[in-house]
Amino acid sequence: MCSLALVEFQVGEHIRRRVSQNLQRSMTIFQQRDHERGQALSLMLAAIDSNPKLKSVLASQDYPTVVNFLREAAQSDQIFLLTDSHGRLLLRSDLDGTGILLAGENLAELAPVRSALDGRRENFYCWFDREVWRMASLPLPAERYGKLATLTVGYRAQQNLVERAAREFDSDVALFTEAGLVTTNERCGLPGNLLAEEFKRLEPQLLSAQPGEWLEFTSQSENTQYRGVLAGLGQEPKQLAFLAILQNNREAVQLIAQTRSTLGLLGLVALVAALLVSIPVVGRVANPVELVETVIQTVGDGLIHMTPDGTIQRVNLAAETLLQCQAKDLLDRNFFEVIQLGGTGPNPLLGDQLMTALSAGQTVRQEEGWVQHSSGQARFGSAFVIAPIRQEGKTSGAVLLFRDISEIQAMRHQLMALSHQAGMAEVATGTLHNVGNALNSVSVSASLVADKVRSSRLASLSKTVAMLERPKEELAAFLSQDPKGQKVPVLLAKLAQHLEEQQQSTLKELESMLSNLEHVKQVIKMQQVHTKTSALLEEVNLSEILDSALAMSEASISFPKGLDVIKEYQAESPIQVEKHKLMQILVNLCCNALESLAEEPAAEQRLLLRTSIVGNKVHLEVQDSGGGIAPENLDKLFSHGFTTKPDGHGFGLHNCFLAARSMGGRLSAQSAGTGKGATFLLELPAAYADGMDPS
């Protein structure tokens, strides 16, 4: 009896272990898919943001047109919310398309709206209209959209999440918020009050858990025994909603106990049988025949069993649903006459080849294929496996397992299209940002040239020439005797000197313009890196390129009064880099430093430029004594779209970071805090002009 009790304990532990493994695997898969759905929502917003019609449509204030445009851009029925700069609701279009609602409700407390009002673009779960929603918001800069401030898209998530998880993992599912239990799937057998008590017990641990972590628990009532995992939804540090995936394992435990009590010592054999039969399905067992039939009919994948010659013997309910037919239409018919299987191409796999492979004991697997019924009414993207059944070394039949992945394929294609659009928009924005910096310098140089031409003394030269237009016999007397004529040679000398100085100054400005225009040309060419892998390396002197970057920045942003520019250039050999990428980074850093100094005048206005070689790295530093960087912004400084400037777009430092990384380098920032200046450090591999790495 002690041996029997020991085996019973070991079987029970095995069952609990298997349940735990299944639940953890299910939660891992769910969190991955949930993260992908959040990314899809963010990509959808990026595509809407990159649409050139957005500004004009929003400016029209014709809200039916706005909603139609947004539905077309999103390619789905989402909820749309427009708010002003205080978070007050200006427009709401419901998911069911019943109409457009205008209201003054304050949405500033919704997490995505609050982030968008602060200039960030994130997706969150939210409690809205007494339901859990998945939402993402887009900031609408005031200089472009006036009183509009944010655009939000989203969808009701709670019942969709619960039913999808219950269907995909064949489990019971419950959804909670901080207020307690929100909903469960229809078949969940665990009482709501028991679930609520379990959640309340685990809530302190959940609130302190990191995103992606989960807790396991066991809950038991009079008639049920559940094991589950509970985790927060989304990627936010503070979770709004929590999902529990549950499995009932009471029947399997009861089976073991009943076997022990009724069979006595023979229960030892029965327990081993229970281990082999009960554990794979974790309960829902009666006898082996019923067990097999239960598994076949309740499994979520389509299943078709056939004899060695291809005659269909069994079809489960999922296969009937997927193929849109009844089992009686398939039974006793030849599989290869009524079912077509295909790979990634349009042509079906040949039945003879499949039969040959199955006869040889081979399994045919396709992750991105398709399945079609002979009626032609149900062809869908499918992942399938057709495998032989072997008995005593011979093939006694075959089984086909398949599932519908058409929704996944459509989502993948949509994600690829949205990602492509977002990538194109980012490349274009980066190009315009970098070209704009150079064109500012061109504009300043052009203005200086125009001012010099307007202030030229050509008028004095014309008057002098007019005085000299006399007959030859009078000209000599005029130059030697007339007081005005005696001043002409001196005047001509001064005019010549002035025009020569003006010519030199104008040529210098024109050379600066040509240099900046060449930089514009190279910035545009540089975007070819997104389609080509080659890059042009040029030999440059670091101190010279830093001086050039500072000069270009000065042309766009005037030096603050009393600015002390300190240059600490370590003697170095020329190095090989992608010159215009390096120029792009340094111009951005110098412009940002000068802007910071101009906006936050300090008692000591100082700008430090430094070059050095540390190990096998070249260091270039731009340090200012300006407004500094708040500690909470340091980690987000190089993120796409992040900016602290009222008129900023958040592209410059992000593109500089990417440019540094593409050259094998690294861009970082340090600051002691607001008002304490900032230091930007660019590290590059020290590949010297002779092609040798100093390391």
Euclidean distance between CA atoms 306 and 294, whole angstroms: 19
- The pLDDT, as a whole number, for residue 421 is 62
Q: How confident is the model at residue 250 (pLDDT cuts 50, 70, 90)?
A: low
Q: Tokens in use for 400?
A: 């086909």
Other CB atoms within a 10 A radius of the CB of residue 568 amount to: 12
Reply yes or no on domain 51-156 having CATH 3.30.450.20: yes
Q: Cα(304)–Cα(287) distance, rounded to whole angstroms? A: 22
Could you give the percent of the chain with pLDDT greater than 90?
4
Spans of all domains in the chain: 2-35+160-253, 51-156, 291-404, 410-530, 538-685
Nearest to 621 by CA among 560, 563, 667: 667
Q: Are 643 and 429 in contact (CB under 8 A)?
A: no
Run of H or E residues at 195: helix 192-208
Residues 66, 151: contact at Cβ < 8 Å?
A: no
pLDDT at 472: 66
| pTM score, whole prediction | 0.38
CATH 3.30.565.10 fits 538-685, yes or no: yes
CATH topology classification for 2-35+160-253: Beta-Lactamase (3.30.450)
In whole angstroms, what is the distance from residue 190 CA to residue 169 CA? Answer: 17
291-404 and 538-685 agree in CATH topology: no
Position 622 pLDDT exceeds 50:
yes
When the candidates are 3.30.450.20, 3.20.20.70, 2.10.25.10, 3.10.350.10, the CATH number that belongs to 291-404 is 3.30.450.20
SS (H, E, C) 565-595: EEEEECCCCCEEECHHHHHHHHHHHHHHHHH
- The enclosing H or E element of 546 equals helix 542-556
Whether 120 contacts 136, CB under 8 Å: no
Q: Model confidence at 678, in pLDDT bands (50, 70, 90)? A: very high
pLDDT for residue 283: 40
Strand blocks (E) in 405-486: none
Parallel/antiparallel/unpaired status of strands 575-577 and 379-391: unpaired
pLDDT at residue 675 tops 50: yes
Indicate the pairing of strand 364-373 with strand 394-404: unpaired
Cα distance between the two ends of the chain: 73
Q: Which of 102-106, 390-394, 655-659 has the highest mean pLDDT?
A: 655-659
According to the model, what pLDDT value does residue 278 have? 45
